[in-house]
Amino acid sequence: MTKKTVLAFSLLFVAGMSKMYVNAGVRTARASLIFECPSDSTELGWQQENGLQKFEGFYRFPNRVAYIQFVLNNGKLEARQLWDGRVYVLQSTGEASFQSVDEGYKLVFDLTTVPAQVKILDRVILNKVTYDPEKRQEPSKKVLQKYQGRYRLSKDTNMWIHIAEKQGMLVLHQEWNSKEIMLESITDSEYINEELIMPVSFEILAKGGIRMHCFENDIWEKIN
């Protein structure tokens, strides 16, 4: 996986965003995603009455690498691309729908699903996550021990990965080429190698088994 993967998804949302900088005297160099409050209401009161807080949070692209954060700032809803820090301007078009001010790119939230979702450009769906993907933690010994073992690729039983512990971190060992990849912990189940832009997720199954998601959509089953 390369940085081109991230850029491919980001272009769907930000292509043409450079137009926002034409009127430099009106806008700052970093445009902001703004949904204006009614002038006859205080910002805090308007937030509470209209429930913009429900849109806040981190939403992940299908490639599981790129994220967009939606956050309220001084009564305004802002969205930030985590991979480059850019913030964009939106205007409301409905109860849960928005569009970019200059380009008219559509964005619709669906809070009835689990997890909540946001759809951009009528086609790309981002899922809300319950963690901050920019933070890192030190996993406990119990967590590290739980994930150690050999994993087999579900679609090719000849492909194996070995997960081990090294210097208080999980390390992914590719048995087909002996390559080792160190993984930083975001949560107890979410990990990433920043250099390779490679996310790894662990899933505890109902019957006690463990499933690992990595290399985008590949699923690996823990065997021993």
In this structure, what token pair is assigned to residue 120? 């951009």
Residue 22 CB burial class (10 angstroms; 0-12, 13-18, ≥19) = exposed
Tally the domains of the chain.
2
What dihedral do alpha carbons 185, 163, 9, 101 form, nearest 10°? Answer: -20
For residue 117, CA distances in Å to 2, 96, 125 come to 25, 11, 7
Residue 116 and residue 16 in one domain:
yes
Percent over 70 (pLDDT), the chain: 78
CATH number at residue 153: 2.40.128
Mean pLDDT of the chain: 81
Residue 130 confidence class, pLDDT cut points 50, 70, 90: very high
Amino acid 50: pLDDT = 56
What does the pLDDT look like over 42-80, one tens digit per residue? Answer: 545 544 445 788 999 999 999 899 999 998 877 777 889
Average pLDDT over residues 110-121: 94
pLDDT higher than threshold 80 for residue 34:
no
Tell me which of 129, 153, 172 is where a domain ends: 129
**How far is 162 from 158, CA to CA, in rounded Å?**
13
Amino acid 28: pLDDT = 36
What does the pLDDT look like over 195-216, one tens digit per residue? Answer: 999 999 999 998 889 999 998 7
Residue 10 and residue 121 in one domain:
yes
What does the pLDDT look like over 160-179, one tens digit per residue? Answer: 999 999 999 999 999 999 99
**How far is 126 from 119, CA to CA, in rounded Å?**
6
